[in-house]
Chains A and B, each alone.
Chain A
Amino acid sequence: MSIMYLLEAFQTIFSDLSSLMFILIGVVAGIMVGCLPGLTATMGCALLIPFTFSLPPVQGLLMLMGIFTGAIYGGSIAAILIRTPGTPAAAATLLDGFPLSKRGEAGKAIGIATIASFVGGTIGALIMSFMAPQIAQFGLRFGPPEFFALAVFGLSMIISISGESLLKGVIAALVGLLITTIGFDPLSGVPRFAFGNDNLLGGITFIPALIGLFGFAQVFRNIEKMGIVPQVRSKVSRILPSFKEVKTLLPTMFKSGGIGSVTGSVPGLGCDIAAFIAYGEAKRTSKKPETFGQGALEGIAAPEAANNGATGGAMIPMLTLGVPGDAVTAVLLGALTIHGFQPGPLLFRDHPEIVYPIFAGMILCQLVLLGVGLAGARLFAKLINIDIKVLTSIIFLLCIVGSYSMRFSFFDVGLALGIGVVAYFMSYAKFPVSPILLALILGPMAEQNMRRAMMLSNDDLSIFVTRPISATFLFLAVLMAGLSYMKYKKLREIERKVAETTAQDAVAK
């Protein structure tokens, strides 16, 4: 990849301001789509494709990439403000974003999410521009055993997101894993636990589960508190994070952006898994891991940098191999084909006129995102100052529309409501819900690839430890689980001692 080509592409884009306008439209539309729970980046792009038919291919693609970038970022706004991830990729962001928002610092949280998305997205775009072929080859080394090992590694993040009780976190994750076994088994073609209901044949779909676990549950909690607990007001005076805060977060953003880009580039992983891996990694290496889940700024920076890094990453296998990195790039692949370009190894040779503007456009998307995001942060943060009765009604409505619109199915609305009721009572019993979500993302990946690997090896378990990538991830998973468990024990020990001393002090007094 020559830098000259890239500069030339920038020149082409800047020479015609309408291209920039399409990026802007895309990013703004993407943020709106991302904000609304249930409308995902995939849907946003798929719905817009017909509009791009009439545009020149480059401009159509720039707009679609703008939507992709904007939506993955926009998901964080809903996660921070209303504890409902707007897209699955923002599921890790709410862990620390919402506590900050509850303290009245929603503006700061959104500001950090914006800057992290920009940094991560730019890293992803640069890696895509300069290292696409090499990264694509690395992604291909992931076969069934590697995917299984990676899923296990991902599941070890349960420790990071369990909150107070590890045991309850593990129980929640196991419930999630059980839920993923519902529906048509893609390997054998046999329906499982569907009870003859066609709607369950496809399993519990992800979006209704997400909306139930977070959106509806939050609505119920709000109703409970209405009129009793005073509403949190956003501090509007200092809306953006200080330069110093951003500076201390930069290493986290860079690292997470890198993690995100590489994770995204492995076909089949995508933004949501990237975000969780980066969150776990940030917590593991943090000097103050105990602040995670209470509103740690790193806890927002890491997943947001990673999920936007993954957007660039996911484009890599799509462009170089014709194999989409995730669901959104699968739609973009369709868009390229409609415009007469066949993504794949020949695209770089035959159509540099489309490849380099894509690279340049991806970088520009990040800049536009930064501008729009920072300008909008103040406005977004004020949204939670809406009267809680009105706000809760709006969230309720959005949850219904969101769970319906994924498959145009009322069954899914009922499902989301049911899951919401369960999640509401779970929070009473202090069960964390995020491990359920993690299990829903990783469960099918772990199960299917475990079975595929066993088929490949004729039931020889050693396939998981004789392949280097697989062995590494499994080792890391065991290591992380072990270390974190020890740390967790120690922490509990200290807490107990403190409790004892306080109790003794009380008796002494």
Chain B
Amino acid sequence: MKKFLVALATVFTLSGAAHAAFPEKDLTLIVPWSAGGGTDTIARALVKNAKKYIGVNVNVVNKTGGQGVVGMGAIKLARPDGYTVGLITFGLSTYKLMGLSDMTFRDFELLQLLNQSAAALSVKADSEWSSLEDLVQYAKANPGKVTLGHTGAGVAWHLSAAALGLAHGVEFNFIPFDGGAPTRSALLGGHIDLAATGIDEVKQLNDAEQIKILAVNADERHPSFPDVPTFTEAGYGLDAPILDWRGLALPKNVPADRVAVLEEGFKKMFEDPDFRQYCEEVGLMLVYEDSEGFEEFLTNMENVLAPTLEATGLLR
């Protein structure tokens, strides 16, 4: 009997040791935006080769609604066992400031930054303006006349354009659309004079010479768009650019050893050549920051956003 108990204990300890290996089942990646959209596509491309780097598959689950609040809330409240990872996006920088939710990045265990996207101001190819200078001169002479379409109130592109207007005393007539695609078609159809979008969102149209990108709101030129000047180069710089971002995060209180495994695994997926190639094709700028760098970036972003949100009347 005693022997049996010892044997039993050994079996349990052994299986216990086996359990310590993490991860031993597939992971879930919560994406707060709908299947097939830009963020979702990036998420799926990122975890495509997961098995090679972390030993298990990563299943993408889309929990959408409320401008990302629902999905990010689900990440925050997920069981902190490391099996649920979340993709967090720009909205998290604005929810609290805009009074949509009390959630901020401080409610998460940050894993890493994935990418930053810069805002571009574009006009139709046959527009009379061919530089930011032309546009600003016209807009100053005709305050409120220039119609500027953007992808939604409080989105990075809207705030970038608003910051430009505030800093240089230009008055635009802002028209919010429901996402990137309707904004692009409104620009092509001549319903708006100017569009504020992510620079990667207008890549094909720029390549096809259907539109002209006047300037990009970033510190440096975008490698895929070497001819497009930054706001500063065009003569209308801002103190700090407002950048859209995407990153990975966990709920709080995940055991440290598991966080380390995930950090390493996702970094490898991030460096996968297939993923890199895909991002290059769509003009998506990958930027890596570890959890510390990510946190610093997000803290700065809140400081940059608050005054712009206040001036546009979105601050609550």
Contacts and interface: CB of A to CB of B under 8 A. Distances in A.
B51 interface: no
B153 A187 contact: yes
Given A42-B36, A47-B35, A267-B181, A342 B207 contact: yes
Interface stretch (A94-102, A197-205, A249-257, A491-499): A197-205
A425 B186 CA distance: 43
B208 A184 contact: no
B267 interface: no
Contacts of A430: none
A255 to B, nearest CB: 27
B185 A267 contact: yes
Contacts of A323: 181, 184-185, 188
Given A337-B282, A452-B175, A407 B63 contact: yes
Contacts of A455: 147, 173-175
B152 A346 contact: no
Interface string A374-401: 0000000000000000000000000000
Interface residues of A, number: 56
Nearest to A140: B189
B45 A338 contact: yes
A338 B41 contact: yes
B116 interface: no
A317 B210 CA distance: 14
Contacts, number: 159
Contact of A408 (B63, B175, B191): B63
B27 to A, nearest CB: 15
Contact of B207 (A53, A338, A344): A344
A141 interface: yes
Given A183-B66, A323-B188, A334-B41, A189 B204 contact: no
B185 A201 contact: no
A143 B65 contact: no
Given A334-B41, A456-B147, A189 B281 contact: no
Contacts of A343: 204
A455 B99 CA distance: 24
A322 B182 CA distance: 11
Interface in A298-341: 317, 321-324, 327, 330-331, 334, 337-338, 340
Given A186-B153, A330-B36, 8 more contacts: A42-B36, A142-B189, A184-B66, A189-B152, A198-B70, A268-B185, A321-B188, A322-B184
- Lowest 9 A-B CB distances belong to which pairs? A201-B66, A202-B65, A331-B36, A143-B191, A46-B35, A189-B153, A344-B204, A140-B189, A345-B208
15 contacts: A42-B35, A42-B36, A184-B100, A188-B176, A201-B65, A330-B181, A331-B35, A337-B281, A344-B208, A344-B210, A345-B210, A407-B62, A409-B63, A455-B175, A458-B173
